[in-house]
Every structure is written in structure tokens, then in C-alpha cells.
Structure 1
Amino acid sequence: MTGELRAFVLLAATLTTGLMAGLYFAFSVAVMPGLGRSADRTFVEAMQRINVSILNGWFGLAFGGALVLGALAAALHWRGDGRPALPWIVAGVVLYAVSLLITMGVSVPLNDRLAAAGEPDRIRDLAAVRERFASAWVRWNAARTLTCLAALGCLAWAPRAGRG
């Protein structure tokens, strides 16, 4: 049973990390390039609405679940025949934690500043608001996308460890 539980928790950690990597990737390759071609008002309003709507239970489950499940997977692989996978799991958890630090330290403050700018109809200089937000947000989203993708790779490789 322990081996099955270990495998299930590692799978769940891998899937939730994959969901987050996919979300960040979608913003990198579709959402932000698409919004980048829009007018300042459209850009600001869309990002303000996205930043509100993303705060939901499904997002929270994947966002927090990836870290919790990754840590639990590491604990379950600490001893016994699961130990060869542990370095890969720990690397995945650490990399995912880095993506969370980027999110909480950069993305969320940028999102908060964008929200504090007010309704697009009341913003005097939409272009300036957009510029202060967009370039930094896009750059740091690319960093968390790559970091989260690396975390996913480590977790996906973990079951292979020790079989080689």
C-alpha cells in the first residue's frame, strides 16, 4: 500500500505542477501576446478582470496543491525503495517553490498595482499604467514558466530514478 500511495501522491504532485506550468505557458504564448496587440484600455481592463477571476478554488487547488503534494511525495519517498526518486522530487519541489516566490514577490504586487490604478475609464494615462505593468509581468512570467516547467520535468523523471 505504501508504494501505491507514494506513486499516487507523486502523480498528483506532477499533475498539479503540470497544470501550473501549462497555465503560465498559456499566458506566455497566447494570452499576453494576444493582449499585447490590443489597445491600452482593453489590455488594462482584461488583465484586471483576469487577475480577479483567476482567484478561484480550481486555481487554488492547483497552485497550492502542487507544493503540498510535492512536499508530501518527498516525505513518502524519504526511506525505503522510494529513496532513489527523492533527489528529483526535492528538486521539483524547490523549483516549484521558486515559481511561487516569483508569483508572490513579483506577479502579485504587479497585479495589485494594476488593480489600484482603478477603472480604465478613470485612468488618465492608460499607456503608462500598461507599460509599468506589462514588460515586467511578461518577463517574470517567462521566468516562472521555465522554472515551473523544470519542476514538472523533475517530478516526471522521479519515477524513472533508480531504474536506470
Structure 2
Amino acid sequence: MATLSEIVLIAAVITAGLIAGLFYAYTCSVMPGLGRADARTYVTGMREINIAILNGWFGLSFGGAPLLAAVAAALHFRAELRPALPWLITGFALLLVMLIVTMAINVPLNNALEAGFDRDNTDFAALRAKFEGVWERWNLVRTLAAIGGFGALVGGLIVHVRA
């Protein structure tokens, strides 16, 4: 029977994989696809994506991954589980970086895009120019942090199972 530490760790791995996959999809398909569109389509598309993504499924993985990683790490302070702890702390730290980058940089950029949007009176090219490059660079940072966090949690799971 699975222990609480195993259940939480597996949940952390799953949620971290989901959020890493989401940001990876943005990096390799969504943003390059939008990048090929004209400025009006880019801005409108990004705005609609920003609205659509605010849902429980996103929240579950975005907030759940670092929270579950922290709980998994806390549950591994017992001596017999401690070998997995460095992996879990690393996973948590990287997922925390993902969360901080998103909240400190990507979300304010999303909000600025929304604030500058008026379907009939927007200078779409100017709005896109202020948003696109910065948002995409920081999306890459959070993508790499999320992938690293996921990988570290997988490493922790492997060490946990072997211990």
C-alpha cells in the first residue's frame, strides 16, 4: 500500500509534468504560431488565451506543483526517506522559480496587454512590440525551471522507490 509520502510525491510529479508540458507547448508551438500572425491576430489571440487559461485545471497544476513538491519534501525529512530530499528540495526550488517568474513578469505583461486592448482603437503593432519579446524570453525561463523541477521530482521519486 502506498504511503502518504508516496502519494504526495506522485501527485507532485504529475502536476509538475503537466505545468512543464504546458509551458513547453507555449515555447515550441503556441508562441511561434502566434508569431507568424499579423499584429492584430497576435494580440487578440494572446488576450483570448490569457482569459481562457484562468481555470481550475490550470490552477491545479500551476499552484499545485510547487505546493505538492513542498509537502513531499517536508514528508521526506524522516531518516529512512531522507535520500530523496535533495531532489525534492531542488524540484520545489525550481517550481518556485517558475511561479515567481510567472507572477512577477508574465502576469503583469498579460495585464498590460489587456489594459492596452481596445478592439477598435488599439495600435496592435505597438502593443505587440512591448509584449512579445519580453514575454517569450521569460516564458522560456519559466519553461526551463518547470522542466527542471519536474525532472528533479522524478529523480526524487526514483530515489524514494529505491530506498
Give the alignment's TM-score, normalised by structure 2: 0.95
In the TM superposition, what is the alpha-carbon distance from 1:68 to its structure 2 partner? 1.4
Which residue in the other structure is 2:143 paired with?
145
Q: How does 1:121-160 map to 2 (within 5 A)?
A: 121-123=120-122, 125-160=123-158
Kindly indicate whether the alpha-carbon contact (under 8 Å) linking 1:85 and 1:161 is maintained by their aligned counterparts in 2.
yes
Q: How does 1:76-155 map to 2 (within 5 A)?
A: 76-123=75-122, 125-155=123-153
Residue 144 of structure 1: SS of its match in structure 2? Answer: helix
Which residue in the other structure is 2:31 paired with?
32
Instruction: Give the counterpart letter for 1:106 in structure 2.
Output: I
Unaligned runs of 5+ in 2: none
In structure 1, what is the Cα distance between the partners aligned to 2:82 and 2:46? 43
Kindly indicate whether the alpha-carbon contact (under 8 Å) linking 2:10 and 2:157 is maintained by their aligned counterparts in 1.
no
After superposition, the CA RMSD in angstroms is: 1.4
Aligned length: 162
In structure 1, what is the Cα distance between the partners aligned to 2:101 and 2:93? 13
Superposed CA deviations along residues 32-55 of structure 1, whole A, max 9, x for unmatched, are 000000010000001111111100
Which residue in the other structure is 1:41 paired with?
40
How high is the sequence identity, in percent, across the aligned residues? 49
In structure 2, what is the Cα distance between the partners aligned to 1:70 and 1:99? 13
Instruction: Give the counterpart letter for 1:56 in structure 2.
Output: N
Instruction: Give the counterpart letter for 2:17 in structure 1.
Output: G
In the TM superposition, what is the alpha-carbon distance from 1:91 to its structure 2 partner? 0.5
In the TM superposition, what is the alpha-carbon distance from 1:137 to its structure 2 partner? 0.6
Which residue in the other structure is 2:56 paired with?
57
In the TM superposition, what is the alpha-carbon distance from 1:88 to its structure 2 partner? 0.4
